[in-house]
C-alpha cells in the first residue's frame, strides 16, 4: 500500500471487510493471463534523442513499471495513510534492494515516487543503480482515508466504536476515503506524463497498494470497488504497463522481492 494491507490494517484503504457486500466478498478476481509474469519485461532500446516530444511513433515501446513500496516499520499496527515518518522496515529495505537488482539491466530513464517516506526509500536504490535522482509526483500518493492514524484491524480499535460505523455506509465510492475514480485518474496522469517523457525506454513509478491496484483495474476495464483480499499487489511488486506508441498493449505483474501473504497483517 508494509503500509498497504490486503487485510484491513495499517495501510489498507478498506478499513473492514464487513463494508463489502456479501456478493462481492464471494466474488473472485481473475487477472488476465497477460497480466501475470515471472519477471518484469526488459528492453535496452536507446533514448529517442531526436524525436519530436509531442509525437510518439506507434512502433516505439515504452514500459512504465508501477512499483508498490516495501514493508514498513509499523509496530503499533495503525493505518498510517499519508502520515509522515513511516520508514521501511529492515525487510522493506531488503525488498527495495531486490527490485533494484532485478531492474539493473533495464533501460531505466526515470525514477519517480510518491512523496511519502516509504515510497521515496523504496525508489532510492533503483535510482542509484542507474545514476538517477528520485523525482516526486504528488499523483502517486497513498489514498486518502478518514481512519488515518487509528487502529482499524477487524475486531479492534476504531471499528469497535459505533461512532465510526457511519463511515462504512458506502463501499462503492468509498465513503471512508478518496473516491476510487479520483485515484485512478491521478495515477493515470502520472503514468502518461512519465511515459511521454521516457518514450522508447522504461520508467519506474513508486506508489502504494490501493492506488496501484485501482489503476490496474481501471486500465483493464473492471469496476473499481472490490474485495481487498483479492488484490494482486504484493509488497515491492511491479505492475508493468507496456505501451507501443500511445497504446497499452500488455500489463505484466511480477514479484522480484517475493510474494507477501494478504492474510498476514501488514502484507
Percent of the chain with pLDDT over 90: 49
Identify whether 172 is part of a domain.
yes
- Mean pLDDT is highest, among 64-78, 158-172, 242-256, for 242-256
Phi and psi at 188, nearest 5°, equal -65, -35
Q: Is pLDDT of 47 > 60? A: no
The confidence score (pLDDT) of residue 227 equals 73
* Total residue length of the chain: 267
The confidence score (pLDDT) of residue 39 equals 41
When pLDDT is cut at 50, 70 and 90, the band that residue 53 belongs to is low
Identify whether 260 is part of a domain.
no
Question: What average pLDDT is seen over the chain?
Answer: 77
Kindly report which listed range (48-52, 60-64, 154-158, 233-237) carries the lowest average pLDDT score: 48-52
Identify whether 33 is part of a domain.
yes
Residue 140 domain boundaries: 17-254
The confidence score (pLDDT) of residue 238 equals 97
Q: Is pLDDT of 5 > 50? A: no
Q: Is residue 62 within a helix (H) or strand (E), and if so which, with residue range?
A: strand 61-68
Q: Is pLDDT of 108 > 60? A: yes
Identify whether 261 is part of a domain.
no
pTM (two decimals): 0.72
Q: Is pLDDT of 152 > 70? A: no
Alpha carbons within 13 angstroms on the beta-carbon side of residue 215 total 35
Identify whether 6 is part of a domain.
no
Identify whether 7 is part of a domain.
no
Q: Which residues pair with 251 in a beta bridge?
A: 241
Task: Give per-residue pLDDT as tens, 211-253.
Answer: 999 999 999 998 877 777 778 889 999 999 999 999 999 999 9
The confidence score (pLDDT) of residue 13 equals 46
**Higher per-residue confidence, 157 vs 65:** 65
Q: How far apart are CA 117 and CA 53, in angstroms?
A: 32
69: CB partners within 8 A, 6+ apart: 1, 2, 3, 4, 88, 92, 96, 114, 116, 118, 119, 121, 122, 206, 207, 208, 235, 236
Contact 265, 9 (CB under 8 A): yes
| 113 three-class SS | strand
Identify whether 133 is part of a domain.
yes
CATH of the domain at 68: 3.40.50.1240
Nearest residue to 200 (alpha-carbon basis) of 37, 28, 58 = 58
Percent of the chain with pLDDT over 70: 63
Identify whether 125 is part of a domain.
yes
Domain total for the chain?
1
Kindly report which listed range (137-141, 156-160, 164-168) carries the lowest average pLDDT score: 164-168
Amino acid at each position: 500500500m508494509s503500509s498497504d494491507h490486503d487485510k484491513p490494517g495499517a495501510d489498507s484503504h478498506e478499513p473492514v471487510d464487513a463494508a463489502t457486500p456479501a456478493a462481492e466478498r464471494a466474488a473472485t478476481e481473475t487477472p488476465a493471463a497477460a497480466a501475470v509474469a515471472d519477471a518484469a519485461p526488459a528492453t535496452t532500446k536507446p533514448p529517442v534523442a531526436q524525436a519530436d516530444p509531442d509525437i510518439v511513433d506507434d512502433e516505439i515501446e515504452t514500459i512504465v513499471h508501477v512499483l508498490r513500496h516495501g514493508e514498513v516499520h509499523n509496530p503499533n499496527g495503525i493505518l498510517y495513510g499519508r502520515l509522515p515518518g513511516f520508514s521501511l522496515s529492515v525487510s522493506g529495505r531488503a525488498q527495495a534492494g531486490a527490485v533494484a537488482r532485478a531492474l539493473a539491466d533495464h533501460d531505466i530513464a526515470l525514477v519517480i515516487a510518491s512523496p511519502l517516506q516509504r515510497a521515496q526509500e523504496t525508489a532510492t536504490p533503483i535510482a542509484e543503480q542507474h545514476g538517477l535522482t528520485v523525482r516526486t509526483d504528488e499523483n502517486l500518493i497513498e489514498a486518502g482515508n478518514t481512519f488515518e492514524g487509528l487502529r482499524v484491524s477487524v475486531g479492534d480499535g476504531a471499528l469497535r466504536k459505533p461512532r465510526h460505523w457511519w463511515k462504512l455506509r458506502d463501499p462503492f465510492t468509498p465513503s471512508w476515503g478518496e473516491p476510487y475514480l479520483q485515484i485512478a485518474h491521478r495515477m493515470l496522469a502520472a503514468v502518461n506524463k512519465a511515459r511521454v517523457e521516457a518514450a522508447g525506454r522504461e520508467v519506474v513509478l513508486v506508489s502504494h497498494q490501493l492506488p496501484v491496484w485501482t489503476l490496474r483495474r481501471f486500465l483493464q476495464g473492471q469496476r473499481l470497488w472490490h474485495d481487498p483480499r483479492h488484490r494482486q499487489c504484493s509488497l515491492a511488486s511491479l505492475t508493468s504497463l507496456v505501451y507501443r506508441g500511445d497504446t497499452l498493449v500488455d500489463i505484466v505483474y511480477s514479484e522480484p522481492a517475493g510474494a507477501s501473504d494478504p492474510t498476514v497483517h501488514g502484507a
